[in-house]
Chains A and B, each alone.
Chain A
């Protein structure tokens, strides 16, 4: 675990949307997925993660249904909608351009 990376605005949305491309998940699973995939480097505060989930649900980028978890508990499952998929494509392309631009400056300096 090295330096903490502060999450850029909008980046959390992007991560959540990307995570949900794997299939419907409940909030806990999304949090765990992001933590494990980034080796806990991003330090996503879970409260912020849930806020992002609900905000995107309101925008209809993701939809939520109640389902039954693997240990037979009632859980809220989120899945990507068509609108969410479009958002993901647009946002990840924009993020890549942004990151490359930043890298170019960092390398030349």
Chain B
């Protein structure tokens, strides 16, 4: 055994030769290794006396298949190099993260500010995403194949205009279910407020009436019992059965199994509990109904005697229809098929009701939309505002990113020399960029985690304000919100990291190293300034939005709807199936008014037909000689007691109010609103004119008074055409009660309800609401817009101010030497301070100009959501400019003071 002569000699480090890790490099290395091997073998063999040719053959014999081995070695090495690269990437990442964490720990304040900025930005977005997602993007829980499930809208032409309606007739539902061929399931749904329970326990609940086919649209399993089956939902031969929602089952029956088979008084009938729906099941609704009942059975109860008429005719629309197409059927094919079914049903309608418009005129068509109403053709104002707020949240995030980018950039500038040194030492720019990116991404991830807490906390607050009745699940547990927050954090991290990376690419190594520490980087960075300008501009846009909404809210609040909202309680007697003849009903209504007036907190009371924001009675009006007066628009009819005007506070502008003389049998009288008087008798006195109601041949009613204009619908809409009739001269029986309280109405609601409840016969009951509760939801979209824009705008402004302060302070610190020179040359302290403040004002002015321009463009789309405010409202624009200017002064104040206190001797001696 001899020692190999050429082995134990420590080889020099490999790096000196450089390692080429490309595929070609790997192959070259293998070739080189093998060449060395063959050279050595041949040399040894020739030394022992072989001729070169024999030596070569012997070497190859010893080796085996050279080509095959060479390929195998190259293959193994390529795999190894890949492994190494991955390992290095991960260890590099670990190193970057360690480096970033060390940096954060060294400057905890800096990191905290960044994390807070990102947390607010990401939190605001996660919150708004959660809301918008729930409203618009997420299909109802348990829904099978949401992409094939549609909400049917019915279009027909009336008076040359296309009218689109969501609600349909029971018979229409049956017709379409029968003749549609492209659908798998067609279901009907309708919600109703119904009295549930007996005696004191009676509560008005929202129930979902659904066809049994609708259950087939969901893959929900009952947690208890069963759902109702086909046939059980029919009005004839159906069953009085009810399926409880999970929430109601828990709250009312404590989640007990023994609830099955129990009976429930719903409306005027008794239902048997047969099952409990799973948690989160709300059928097609955003708000979970308390329970689900068979649609035909419940309709027969609800409509009472009228149902006999409605079940076969097409007179009343009250339900919504949903359909799931068969697999492979396109939306167009399904729409065509459903339109066909609709037309066939329309033909059937003509045979039942000959006065129906013919197909050629009505041109009935079905349009399909996503299941949620909010995504249909008529989303609510709340949804529109929510969409806007989501956009606003994105802007806040942009500002936060700009701000963080600016802070990171500031630090990158301070670390200018360090970066230059590292570049000089051979750290590649790509590696450096990755490190900066790691840092900003890490900050963003921490920010996102904190942002989720913001979302959880702020989200509850916001959602309670925005959609108080929706059953929200907790935000943090929601995987979609989590995904969204993570993605947002990544984007934010990338955006914020871009600025310093961009800066590091421009670093001129030689120049930076040559300059002294003081000269490190004294000229202002254009990038930093641009970021500041952008922040200021975006803040301006948000603040303009806030201002416009605040002005709208002011405008809406200042609107006098023509009745005293704060002092009125609306009382509705619910007979609950009790059959009263007109005499007894009249007596009951009279006793209601009398009993209400006797209450200590009550000033007055009246019967009324039309209830603002809730139910309006419209009727046609005719003038003698003229064809129809209804061309003025919808004319609303209000039946009123003699005490009506004193109760509601609606003023009589001319003529008189009703008196006890206006009873049945006395000359017929009417009071009209100012707007209506002007529309009907443009150049004449309305008092004394004759008006006919309902039909041309009706009796003349003499106008005895003109009342001030009122708004019974949305505040954003125009004044209504209203005419008032004394209830004594009007036959209708569906009266409700307005009660005028001495103090604030909302405090007396319950007292009024308790006082009147005992008057109800049988199982009847009374509901009472303050007028304010009826009116305020219609103001909510403005309230929401004002609050949220102001919150987000304030947030944006705060971030922008912080960013401005940071940059100005940094610039002052950099220019200490220059300031010292100026002071030494005789500049006054006010000159130096002015220099700093001017810099800040210059930046903000550019931002304001851009922001105002941007908001003028954006507010065109905002205009439909505003109330009587021009999107170019000069007051708002001026206020925003003033605010921004003040903030820029504030932000530069401290740095300016610091600059003016520069001691020239000290600053010049430094270094």
A positions within 8 Å CB-CB of B: 22-29, 31-33, 36-37, 45-48, 50-51, 54-55, 57-58, 64-71, 73-77
Contacts and interface: CB of A to CB of B under 8 A. Distances in A.
B7 A24 contact: yes
A70 B41 CA distance: 15
B6 A69 contact: yes
B304 to A, nearest CB: 85
Nearest to B30: A54
Contacts of B69: 47-48, 50-51
A50 B7 contact: no
A57 B2 CA distance: 26
Given A47-B69, A65-B14, A66-B14, A23 B80 contact: no
A58 B73 CA distance: 11
Given A54-B77, A57-B80, A47 B8 contact: no
B479 interface: no
Interface in B113-160: none
A34 to B, nearest CB: 10
A76 B36 contact: yes
A48 B64 contact: yes
B33 A75 contact: yes
A48 B44 CA distance: 21
Contacts of A27: 33, 37
Interface in B5-23: 5-14, 17
A70 B80 CA distance: 28
B39 interface: yes
A17 to B, nearest CB: 15
B4 interface: yes
Contacts of B32: 74, 76
Nearest to A43: B62
B66 interface: yes
Contacts of A28: 36-37, 40-41
19 contacts: A24-B9, A24-B11, A31-B37, A32-B4, A36-B1, A46-B63, A46-B64, A47-B66, A47-B68, A47-B69, A50-B34, A54-B76, A58-B80, A58-B83, A64-B14, A65-B11, A66-B17, A67-B12, A75-B33
A69 B4 contact: no
Contact of B33 (A23, A37, A48, A76): A76
Contacts of B33: 26-27, 50, 75-76
Contacts of B66: 47
A51 B30 CA distance: 11
Contact of B79 (A31, A46, A58, A64): A58
Nearest to A79: B11
A47 B65 contact: yes
B5 A70 contact: yes
Shortest Cβ-Cβ A-B pairs, 9 listed? A67-B11, A47-B64, A47-B69, A23-B8, A65-B14, A58-B80, A70-B6, A25-B7, A77-B11
B447 to A, nearest CB: 39
Interface string B54-91: 00000000111110110011001101100100000000
Contacts of B40: 28
A80 to B, nearest CB: 13
A29 B7 contact: yes
A54 B1 CA distance: 26
Nearest to A54: B76
Contact of A26 (B5, B36, B83): B36
Contacts of B779: none
B29 interface: yes
A54 B73 CA distance: 6
Given A51-B73, A54-B73, A22 B11 contact: no
A50 B11 contact: no
Given A26-B7, A57-B80, A71-B6, 11 more contacts: A24-B7, A27-B37, A29-B7, A45-B64, A47-B66, A51-B72, A68-B12, A69-B6, A70-B6, A70-B9, A74-B32
Contacts of A77: 11
A89 B83 CA distance: 26
B257 to A, nearest CB: 61
B80 A45 contact: no
Contact of B6 (A29, A31, A47, A65): A29
Contacts of A47: 63-66, 68-69
Nearest to B62: A46
A69 B36 contact: yes
B77 A66 contact: no
Nearest to B75: A54
B651 to A, nearest CB: 94
Contacts of B36: 26, 28, 69, 73-76
B64 A25 contact: no
Given A65-B14, A76-B29, A51 B7 contact: no
A22 B80 contact: no
A71 B415 CA distance: 50
Q: Which of A36, A48, A50, A77 counts the most B-chain CB atoms under 10 A from its CB?
A: A50
Contacts of B8: 22-25
Nearest to A32: B4
Contacts of B1: 36-37
B25 to A, nearest CB: 12
Contacts of A32: 4, 44
Contacts of B77: 54, 57-58
A70 B6 CA distance: 5
Given A33-B4, A48-B64, A57-B80, A73 B14 contact: no
Contacts of A75: 11, 33, 36
Nearest to A75: B36
A74 B190 CA distance: 86
A69 to B, nearest CB: 5
Nearest to B9: A70
A102 B40 CA distance: 38
Contacts of B12: 65, 67-68
A25 B3 CA distance: 12
Contacts of B13: 65
A68 B11 contact: yes
Nearest to B67: A47
Contacts of B63: 45-47
A63 B36 CA distance: 18
A102 B63 CA distance: 31
A74 B12 CA distance: 11
A41 B852 CA distance: 92
A75 B4 CA distance: 15
A97 to B, nearest CB: 26
A51 B70 CA distance: 9
Q: Which of B13, B39, B72, B76 counts the most A-chain CB atoms under 10 A from its CB?
A: B76
Contacts of A22: 7-8
A31 B4 CA distance: 10
Q: Which of B12, B34, B37 counts the most A-chain CB atoms under 10 A from its CB?
A: B37
Contacts of B44: 32
